[in-house]
């Protein structure tokens, strides 16, 4: 057609994919090897400068010249066959080098009509968009990014699985690895000692909890039950002063200063009396002492200072003149604290004598003696508190002043 030029090498690249020989640099006026010269107009000034037909050279000076777009035969939709892309030839050192002629085939590689037809066919065939994104003429940037993403994912997977794909160990290496994993004798011994120490520590903690807490709970409950039974027997007239069986409760001891009310039982048996939260009357063998109703004598009792109800824990805080009241079925016997012996060996039984040495008493009388262990939480020594009777008051006359709030 008039005014149209044809590039045989570009046609070969479009359809055959094999680039031809590289043409000479393009000259927009004279053309060049492989590049046809722009056709001259039929006569000067045939077309106006503005809006002149595409591909016509105006006599006023050189302008970009581009061929009329080539429209190849449509490619069948069901058999798209895109060809490899071949880059356009270098542009040479002419004004505007690096920018191909406006509208030329060199600006887009293969013929633009073929590219559009192939892109439309591929889009209909795959349901996607075959056109490259703006700013990415060849559509290769996203491909590189996708490849990099997959490569990163594979690297992460390799890091995650670690040595799963490592070569299997030989038998000798497997035996050496098994021996390395097997604990040594020292490790086994240290583990055993550690478990033993932990077990002993737990047992000691449980024992301390039992001694300091549970024995008090249980003993106080037993002592309260014994006090209730004593008062019930008094109401029935069954606990009159006299001879009592070992472990049998017969009185209540009040120490108002310490807020203590504790049953008094016959004997100092640990299991039957002391560990049940009661105080025991020395009433056996050479340690037998007087009863409160006796006209002369030393009424001596023993009680725990720690654990099992600990009724005598704070008797070291008593001051001279503090009341100690023994309540029986018929009578209140009121003693006044007289003196204290902070520490003495358990073998010093003279503290139970009718006139105990070191008590400050010089003649027979009606005395009371409280004994307990010291220091606290040990039984190495004994703590002794003495008192002297100040009042004997029948129950029918009411409570003594020491028990009246």
Beta bridge partner(s), residue 374: 381
Count helices and strands (H / E) in the chain: 6, 8
Euclidean distance between CA atoms 27 and 19, whole angstroms? 21
Euclidean distance between CA atoms 390 and 324, whole angstroms? 10
The per-residue b/e assignment along 288-319, b for 16 or more CB within 10 angstroms, e otherwise, is: ebbbbbeeebbbbbbbbbbbbbbbbbebeebe
What SS3 state is found at 236?
helix
Euclidean distance between CA atoms 387 and 295, whole angstroms? 15
Among left, alpha and beta (phi > 0; psi -120 to 50; other), residue 391 is beta
Question: Could you say which of 239, 276, 281, 373 is catalytic?
Answer: 373
DSSP state of 329: S
**C-alpha to C-alpha distances, 339 to 256, 303, 349, 362, nearest whole angstrom:** 17, 18, 17, 13
Strands 366-374 and 381-394: antiparallel
The overall longest dimension of the chain from CA atoms, in Å, is: 164
**C-alpha to C-alpha distances, 386 to 54, 137, 339, 357, nearest whole angstrom:** 135, 113, 5, 11
Residue 13 falls in the annotated catalytic set: no
Phi and psi at 85, nearest 5°, equal -90, 135
Residue 144 falls in the annotated catalytic set: no
**C-alpha to C-alpha distances, 211 to 171, 267, 312, nearest whole angstrom:** 59, 23, 16
Question: Could you say which of 13, 304, 305, 366 is catalytic?
Answer: 304
Q: What element of type H or E holds 368?
A: strand 366-374
Please say whether the beta carbons of 159 and 151 come within 8 A. Answer: no
Residue 150 falls in the annotated catalytic set: no
What SS3 state is found at 265?
strand
Closest CA to 387 of 366, 363, 403, 404: 366
Closest CA to 105 of 25, 13, 3: 13
Euclidean distance between CA atoms 85 and 325, whole angstroms? 119
Catalogue the active-site residues: 304, 373, 382
């Amino acid at each position: 057609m008039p005014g149209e030029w044809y590039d045989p090498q570009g046609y070969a690249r479009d359809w055959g994919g094999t680039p031809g020989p590289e043409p000479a640099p393009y000259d927009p006026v004279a053309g060049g090897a492989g590049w046809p010269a722009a056709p001259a107009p039929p006569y000067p000034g045939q077309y106006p400068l503005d809006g002149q037909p595409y591909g016509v050279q105006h006599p006023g000076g050189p302008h970009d010249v581009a061929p009329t777009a080539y429209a190849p035969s449509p490619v069948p939709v069901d058999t798209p066959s895109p060809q490899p892309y071949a880059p356009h030839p270098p542009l040479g050192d002419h004004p505007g080098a690096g920018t191909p002629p406006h509208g030329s085939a060199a600006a887009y590689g293969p013929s633009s009509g073929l590219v559009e037809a192939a892109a439309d066919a591929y889009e209909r065939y795959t349901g996607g968009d075959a056109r490259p994104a703006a700013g990415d003429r060849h559509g290769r940037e996203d491909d590189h990014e996708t490849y990099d993403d997959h490569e990163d994912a594979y690297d992460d997977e390799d890091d995650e699985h670690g040595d799963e794909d490592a070569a299997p160990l030989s038998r000798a290496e497997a035996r050496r690895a098994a021996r390395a994993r097997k604990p040594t004798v020292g490790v086994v011994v240290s583990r055993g000692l550690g478990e033993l120490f932990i077990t002993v520590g737990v047992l000691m903690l449980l024992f301390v909890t039992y001694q300091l807490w549970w024995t008090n709970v249980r003993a106080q409950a037993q002592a309260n039950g014994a006090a209730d039974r004593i008062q019930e027997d008094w109401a029935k007239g069954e606990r009159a002063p006299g001879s009592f069986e070992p472990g049998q409760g017969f009185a209540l001891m009040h120490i108002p200063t310490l807020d203590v009310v504790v049953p008094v039982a016959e004997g100092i048996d640990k299991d039957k009396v002391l560990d049940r939260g009661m105080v025991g009357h020395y009433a056996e063998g050479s340690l037998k002492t007087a009863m409160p109703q006796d006209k002369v004598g030393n009424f001596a009792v023993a009680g725990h200072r720690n654990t099992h109800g600990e009724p005598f824990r704070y008797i070291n805080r008593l001051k001279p003149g503090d009341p100690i009241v023994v309540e029986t079925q018929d009578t209140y016997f009121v003693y006044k604290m007289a003196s204290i012996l902070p520490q003495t060996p358990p073998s010093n039984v003279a503290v139970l004598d009718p006139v105990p040495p070191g008590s400050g008493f010089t003649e027979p009388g009606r005395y009371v003696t409280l004994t307990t262990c010291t220091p606290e939480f040990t039984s190495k020594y004994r703590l002794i508190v003495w008192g002297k009777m100040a009042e004997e008051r029948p129950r029918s006359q009411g409570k003594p002043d020491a028990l009246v709030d």
